[in-house]
């Protein structure tokens, strides 16, 4: 019976979902839907009468259809309500011409993008974005830095300077004699020179563990001049010389009380002493070993006071082993020690006092036996000008010359440096440096030179400055003036500042200059240094320097 009426029953089942949602239809649709509903109800009633469906089955079908219709209507109403809400909150954007869009994009790129980029980079660095464990821990302990300096320099030679009186000792020794060096045998003393220079230094410092660290620096400059890292521009497009300026291992430790500090350095390291450019050019670095011990003598950690002791053993020249003399018989060393005080005050001032003794071993030359070159190694590999020298060659050939130092150098140096904070914005700076060569022996020097040479073994320098504590912003400035007097054999001329009197000793003159900040990392320096010879032939040199400095 059911199978006979199956087509009719299928029509009814399919029509039920369409018949009941009359209340959800549009007004124009309601009439046709209502007619369909009545038709379906009549069909169900007929099927009940025919015995195809029971009364309960028909009622259940109608009830299920009504429930589904109600759920569909509720969902439709909710969707309509949400759509109306979104339309009410919608922002109406007027049409923006393309030229205006381009201007807005350019402003965002210029003003917003750098700030966002910097914030993202800073956050990435602080949180260590990336793949965990991709790099070893020590990589994050490496610090990079450095500086670039562009310099314009003018070396001016006033009238009256002696001609052909100052030997270019490095050129003469390299050529094997004055005659062999030709025009390069004498220093320029009368032709003004204007030229640009550049200096680059790239520093790396890596913290290891348990107080150990490694330092290194790559720099421009010549390979034989210890006094300067400058590279003269104008190399016809050629590449600059670069070398390893620093390469050292360092250990630092602090006692449990915090009062004792100890540092050890080995390799090629920065100057560990309290110094001025009277004795050491700032670009000079040291080889060998050095230690620094500091003992706190202040009860307050906010105003630390230290007594310090610094010791160094620095090889100056290694003499190759030959069958004629032992490996260490002619090696040249610097043995140095310095002690002093380092005071800090509550107002931010600092006072440093140091007494140093620099003992150069085997620095004086030794004259060769006749027609021998055994003592050639006693001639230094680099000299400037000023120190007393003598010819250690011993031959009948008049074109052969080799010059070495006539004096020994055991330098006693007294150094005072102060930075006095007057206000948070300004401070007064000054330093005094006095040095005397205790190793000078008049009889020995005169014998080597061939005639009497009066001892000229004292040097001193003082400088006063005023201005901003740090040149780290636009408008920060300082100005300074100083006087320098250094006799012929007061210090080893190879290591003194080569800017004053173009290097060396036997010079006196003034230093006048000023710094001015352009940005936190860029500043300019202007210096004027008029100097004259003290005892030697007349030689006046006025040096102007304009530096553009940048640090990173």
Three-state SS for 217-231 is EEEECCCCCCCCCCE
Computed over every residue of the chain, the mean pLDDT equals 86
Q: Rounded to 5 degrees, what are φ and ψ at 383?
A: -140, 160
Q: Is 82 helix (H, G, I), strand (E, B) or coil?
A: helix
Contact 407/418 with Cβ under 8 angstroms? no
pTM: 0.75
pLDDT tens column, 442-498: 999 999 999 999 999 999 999 999 999 999 999 999 999 999 999 999 999 999 999
The answer for residues whose C-beta is within 8 angstroms of residue 9's C-beta and 6 or more apart is: 2, 47, 52, 53
- Of 306, 283, 274, nearest to 293 (Cα)? 306
- Tokens matching residue 71: 């759920």
pLDDT tens column, 6-30: 445 544 554 555 555 544 445 555 5
Q: Is 437 helix (H, G, I), strand (E, B) or coil?
A: strand
Q: Note the pLDDT of residue 1.
A: 47
Q: Rounded to 5 degrees, what are φ and ψ at 300?
A: -110, 125
- Of 309, 327, 310, nearest to 318 (Cα)? 327
Give the angle 486-492-368 at the CA atoms, nearest 5°: 130
pLDDT tens column, 194-206: 999 999 999 999 9
Contact 378/404 with Cβ under 8 angstroms? yes
Provide the pLDDT confidence category of residue 327 given band limits of 50, 70 and 90: very low
Provide the pLDDT confidence category of residue 323 given band limits of 50, 70 and 90: very low
Instruction: Give the separation between CA 528 and CA 374, rounded to whole angstroms.
Output: 45
Q: Note the pLDDT of residue 74.
A: 75
Q: Note the pLDDT of residue 3.
A: 44
Instruction: Give the separation between CA 281 and CA 497, rounded to whole angstroms.
Output: 4
Count the residues in the chain. 552
Q: Note the pLDDT of residue 79.
A: 77
Q: 461: buried, middle or exposed (CB in 10 Å: 19+, 13-18, 0-12)?
A: buried
Provide the pLDDT confidence category of residue 224 given band limits of 50, 70 and 90: confident
Instruction: Give the separation between CA 241 and CA 288, rounded to whole angstroms.
Output: 24
Buried b (16+ CB within 10 A) or exposed e, 383-416: bbbbbbbbbbbeeeeeebbbbbbbbbbbbebebb
Quick check: 35 pLDDT over 70? Answer: no
- Tokens matching residue 308: 């310090």
């Amino acid at each position: 019976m059911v199978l006979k009426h199956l087509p009719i029953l299928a029509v009814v089942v399919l029509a039920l979902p369409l018949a009941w949602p009359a209340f959800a239809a549009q007004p124009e649709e309601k009439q046709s839907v209502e007619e369909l509903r009545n038709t379906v109800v009549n069909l169900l009633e007929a099927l009940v009468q025919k015995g195809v469906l029971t009364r309960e089955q028909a009622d259940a079908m109608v009830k299920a259809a009504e429930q589904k219709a109600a759920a569909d209507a509720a969902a439709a109403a909710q969707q309509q309500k949400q759509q109306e809400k979104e339309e009410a909150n919608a922002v109406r954007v007027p049409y923006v011409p393309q030229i205006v869009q381009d201007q807005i994009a350019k402003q965002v790129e210029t003003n917003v993008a750098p700030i966002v980029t910097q914030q993202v980079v800073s956050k990435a660095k602080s949180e260590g974005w990336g793949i965990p464990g991709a790099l070893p821990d020590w990589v994050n302990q490496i610090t990079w830095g450095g500086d670039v300096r562009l310099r314009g320099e003018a070396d001016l030679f006033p009238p009256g300077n002696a001609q052909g009186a100052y030997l270019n000792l490095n050129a003469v020794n390299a050529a094997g004699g004055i005659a062999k060096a030709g025009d390069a045998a004498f220093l320029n003393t009368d032709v003004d020179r204007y030229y640009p220079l550049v200096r680059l230094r790239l520093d790396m410092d890596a913290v290891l563990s348990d107080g150990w660290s490694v330092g290194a620096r790559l720099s421009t400059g010549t390979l034989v001049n210890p006094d300067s890292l400058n590279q003269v521009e104008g190399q016809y497009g050629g590449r600059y010389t670069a070398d390893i300026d620093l390469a050292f291992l360092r250990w630092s430790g602090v006692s449990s009380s915090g009062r004792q500090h100890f540092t050890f350095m080995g390799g090629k390291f920065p100057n560990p002493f309290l110094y001025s450019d009277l004795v050491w050019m700032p670009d000079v670095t040291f080889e060998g070993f050095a230690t620094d011990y500091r003992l706190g003598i202040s009860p307050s950690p906010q105003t630390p006071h230290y007594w310090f002791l610094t010791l160094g053993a620095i090889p100056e020249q290694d003499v190759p082993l030959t069958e004629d003399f032992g490996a260490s018989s002619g090696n040249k060393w610097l043995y140095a020690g310095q002690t002093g005080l380092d005071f800090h005050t509550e107002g931010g001032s600092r006072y440093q006092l140091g007494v140093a003794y620099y003992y150069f071993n085997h620095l004086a030359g030794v004259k060769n036996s006749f027609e021998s070159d055994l003592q050639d190694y006693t001639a230094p590999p680099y000299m400037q000008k000023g120190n007393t020298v003598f010819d250690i060659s011993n031959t009948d050939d008049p074109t052969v010359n080799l010059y070495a130092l006539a004096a020994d150098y055991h330098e006693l140096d007294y150094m005072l440096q102060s930075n006095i904070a007057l206000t948070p914005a300004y401070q007064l700076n000054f330093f005094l440096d006095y040095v005397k060569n205790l190793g000078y022996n008049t009889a020995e020097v005169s014998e080597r030179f061939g005639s009497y040479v009066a001892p000229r073994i004292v040097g001193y320098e003082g400088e006063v400055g005023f201005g901003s504590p740090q040149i780290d912003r636009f408008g920060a400035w300082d100005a300074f003036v100083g006087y320098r007097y250094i006799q012929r054999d007061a210090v080893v001329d190879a290591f003194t500042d080569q800017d004053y009197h173009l290097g060396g000793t036997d010079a006196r003159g003034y230093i006048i200059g000023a710094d001015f900040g352009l940005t936190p990392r860029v500043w300019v320096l202007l210096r004027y240094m008029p100097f004259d010879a003290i005892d030697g032939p007349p030689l006046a040199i006025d040096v102007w320097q304009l530096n553009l400095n940048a640090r990173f």
